[in-house]
Amino acid sequence: MNEKLLVAQYLKNLLPDMTEEDIAAMLEYPADKKMGDLALPCFKLSKVLRKAPVMIAQELCSGLENMEEAKNVFEKIESVNGYLNFFISKGNLVKDLENIEKDENYGSNDDGKGKTIVIDYSSPNIAKPFHIGHLRSTVIGQSIKNLHRFSGYECVGVNHLGDWGTQFGKLIVAYKKWGSKERIENGGIDALTEIYVKFHNEAENDPVLNDEARAAFTAMENGDEENLALWRWFVDISINEFKKTYALIGADFESWNGESFYFDKTDRVIKELREKNLLSVDDGAEIVRLDEYDMPPCLILKSDGSTIYATRDIAAAIYRKENYNFDKCIYVTSAGQSLHFAQFFKVIGMMGYEWSKDMVHVPFGTVSIEGAKLATRTGNVVLLEDIFRIATQKTLEIINQKNPDLENKEEVASAVGVGAVVFHDLSNNRIKDVNFMWDEVLNFDGNTGPYVQYTYARCCGVLEKSPMTLEIRPTSGYVLTEEAESALIKTLKLFPEKVRQARIDLEPSLVARYLLDVCAAFNRFYHDCPVLKCEDENVRRTRIALVKATSIVLKNGLTLIGLKTPKNI
């Protein structure tokens, strides 16, 4: 059991008016280990207890002295300057080690048992290239989904494709005028983007093109088979290309219902909004006013009667509630869309759906490459495909230098190269803007994905050479002799807590950064303590167990954030 909870349990006996949760929340992990492995800053209690912190710390300390159980877990409990410091005993660390190394699912929990989340992520737009900006939604969303799954939730990942709207009218007109079946079949999304860009350039001088595009989309909405067939073809081409990227980063979806899926489900929304008197007319368009909530109105129907992004999002939310009965519905998009989400969540609340409180927008910052902002209009679009290709190529060059005889070199290079890009994206708080600098991403000695993957492979290498396979190696009676061993166990022990916190905060970076701490603790241990060459059998067995436990944490952690875990690099 987590020490915070244990300590809270003990202290509860001495602080009967407080809950264990409140006590646990006050406990801290001191940065300086001289102050213990866990500390209670007693000033946090002085208001409630009306006593000086020093006094509280002393009283709690002597209270705990009489508790046999606490003495088994902690080798020392002291009161220093109003802090109550706890030092975990070696005996207890050994027990932790025994538990971790036997549990391949270590870190998981069942907080979400019986609960369902829907998570809407990635959601690229059809016929537009998948660029590095889309990577963020995909990797953050996939990781948030993995974290929920690891915590026992039923998860429905939805790829809410941008596959409906006036832009398809433009694409159809452009295709009929300048496209050819062959060009599109060979060129895929690139060829589609090319005619789309041409449309925009031409329409500047010839505004009639815009009318034609609107008419083409209206025809689609009215069931025009020819246009719909073209549209379906564009969608298929795009999805096929997206799937290649998803395979590289291990993204998978339970549903591919994009915006078009809600085309026949928006009438009901409009009717309902009208019946509930929420719609007002504004310049021919129909809107829901949100002045009361200090927000601009939410546009529902354009003056030409067509629905928009928000209308379809409201229909989608209702559909998801009715079909999946979610406990939470999460949307992962750039912070640029925050207002859109705040608006339509509010509209759903105004419609009387109490579950609007269960809708969560998870925003993230923008991406620049080598300091330059990405923008489709200025042509500074860097394709994910190119980035992954370059990362893989550079990784392969490094492998060829360092480990030329490695088996499956290409496969490993892809796992590590792609992993480097993904890890870099996830290693800072998601709301921060990401600046993608090649040197940083691929620095295999820095705080990068390759460094974590390499540390994992190093663990696997030791375990493979271990003279006794785990099945026959006795997994008890361990002895800890070096500080670096204890420090490593203390780091590994934090994993379940990090997983839980990352899920609650919807913040995969907590796991990514924690894995760097694990690597640092492991590499210090590996440097200070010979493993296979250690003479003393009990100490050797303990160290092998430490390597095994580390490998479990690294494997589970890397998998949670979507990185592959090659055993050999």
Q: Among all chains, which residue has been given the structure tokens 């354009």?
A: 302
**Closest to 553 (Cα-Cα) out of 506, 509, 496, 502:** 496
Q: Which is nearer to ligand ARG, 340 or 524 (CB)?
A: 340
What gap in Å lies between CA 387 and CA 370, rounded to an integer? 13
Q: Which is nearer to ligand ARG, 108 or 123 (CB)?
A: 123
Interacting stretch for ligand ARG, rule CB under 6 A, among 119-127, 234-242, 263-271, 368-376?
119-127
Footprint on residues 296-315 left by ligand ARG (CB under 6 A):
313
Q: Which is nearer to ligand ARG, 125 or 523 (CB)?
A: 125
**Closest to 165 (Cα-Cα) out of 212, 216, 129:** 216
- The answer to the question of residue 425 lying near ligand ARG (CB under 6 A) is no
Q: Write out the E strands in 16-100.
A: 38-41, 74-80, 83-88
One residue of 101, 120, 212, 507 binding ligand ARG per CB under 6 A: 120
- The answer to the question of residue 160 lying near ligand ARG (CB under 6 A) is yes
Q: Which is nearer to ligand ARG, 74 or 331 (CB)?
A: 331
Q: Which is nearer to ligand ARG, 158 or 510 (CB)?
A: 158
Q: Which is nearer to ligand ARG, 175 or 242 (CB)?
A: 242
- The answer to the question of residue 123 lying near ligand ARG (CB under 6 A) is yes
Query: Closest distance between ligand ARG and the C-beta of residue 561, in Å?
Result: 21
On the 0-12 / 13-18 / 19+ scale of CB atoms within 10 A, 182 is exposed
Beta bridge partners of 359: 329
What gap in Å lies between CA 131 and CA 124, rounded to an integer? 9
Query: Closest distance between ligand ARG and the C-beta of residue 157, in Å?
Result: 12
What gap in Å lies between CA 370 and CA 58, rounded to an integer? 55
Q: Which is nearer to ligand ARG, 75 or 254 (CB)?
A: 254
Query: Closest distance between ligand ARG and the C-beta of residue 152, in Å?
Result: 25
Interacting stretch for ligand ARG, rule CB under 6 A, among 118-126, 430-438, 491-499, 540-548?
118-126
Q: Which is nearer to ligand ARG, 134 or 500 (CB)?
A: 134
Who's near 89: CB < 8 A, 6+ residues apart?
A: 72, 73, 74, 75
Footprint on residues 6-45 left by ligand ARG (CB under 6 A):
none
84, 57 Cβ separation under 8 angstroms? yes
Burial 364-400 (b: 16+ CB within 10 A, else e): bbbbbbeeeebeeeeeebbebbebbebbbebbbebbe
The angle subtended at Cα 483 by Cα 480 and Cα 485, nearest 5°, is 55
Query: Closest distance between ligand ARG and the C-beta of residue 315, in Å?
Result: 10
Q: Among all chains, which residue has been given the structure tokens 């591919």?
A: 256
Query: Closest distance between ligand ARG and the C-beta of residue 161, in Å?
Result: 7
Footprint on residues 179-238 left by ligand ARG (CB under 6 A):
none
Footprint on residues 58-117 left by ligand ARG (CB under 6 A):
none
Footprint on residues 326-345 left by ligand ARG (CB under 6 A):
331, 333
Query: Closest distance between ligand ARG and the C-beta of residue 120, in Å?
Result: 5
Three-class secondary structure of residue 534 per DSSP: coil
Interacting stretch for ligand ARG, rule CB under 6 A, among 9-17, 123-131, 387-395, 462-470?
123-131
Q: Which is nearer to ligand ARG, 134 or 458 (CB)?
A: 134
Query: Closest distance between ligand ARG and the C-beta of residue 322, in Å?
Result: 16
DSSP letters for 497-516: HHHHHHHHHT-THHHHHHHH
- The answer to the question of residue 364 lying near ligand ARG (CB under 6 A) is no
Dihedral of CA 562/563/564/565: which sign? negative
Instruction: Label residue 284 left, alpha or beta by phi (over 0 means left) and psi (-120 to 50 means alpha).
Output: left
Q: Which is nearer to ligand ARG, 99 or 306 (CB)?
A: 306
Instruction: Label residue 132 left, alpha or beta by phi (over 0 means left) and psi (-120 to 50 means alpha).
Output: alpha
**Closest to 524 (Cα-Cα) out of 491, 499, 502, 493:** 491
Three-class secondary structure of residue 394 per DSSP: helix
Who's near 528: CB < 8 A, 6+ residues apart?
A: 482, 483, 484
Query: Closest distance between ligand ARG and the C-beta of residue 366, in Å?
Result: 13
Interacting stretch for ligand ARG, rule CB under 6 A, among 77-85, 101-109, 120-128, 201-209?
120-128
For 41, the token pair is 């800053």
What gap in Å lies between CA 422 and CA 341, rounded to an integer? 26
One residue of 125, 435, 481, 501 binding ligand ARG per CB under 6 A: 125
Kindly determine how many residues on this chain lie close enough to bind ligand ARG according to the rule CB under 6 A.
10
For 321, the token pair is 């509630």
Q: Which is nearer to ligand ARG, 144 or 441 (CB)?
A: 144
For 152-288, where are the alpha helices, taking DSSP H only?
Answer: 166-178, 181-205, 208-221, 225-249, 266-275
- The answer to the question of residue 162 lying near ligand ARG (CB under 6 A) is yes
- The answer to the question of residue 163 lying near ligand ARG (CB under 6 A) is no
Side chain identity, residue 441: V
Query: Closest distance between ligand ARG and the C-beta of residue 234, in Å?
Result: 15
Query: Closest distance between ligand ARG and the C-beta of residue 133, in Å?
Result: 9
Who's near 221: CB < 8 A, 6+ residues apart?
A: 263, 306
- The answer to the question of residue 540 lying near ligand ARG (CB under 6 A) is no
- Walk across the sheet containing 372-373 and list its strands: 372-373, 367-369, 434-436
Query: Closest distance between ligand ARG and the C-beta of residue 137, in Å?
Result: 7
Query: Closest distance between ligand ARG and the C-beta of residue 199, in Å?
Result: 19
Q: Among all chains, which residue has been given the structure tokens 């003393």?
A: 536
Query: Closest distance between ligand ARG and the C-beta of residue 316, in Å?
Result: 6
Query: Closest distance between ligand ARG and the C-beta of residue 259, in Å?
Result: 8
Q: Which is nearer to ligand ARG, 333 or 542 (CB)?
A: 333
Binding site for ligand ARG (CB under 6 A): 120, 123-125, 160, 162, 313, 316, 331, 333
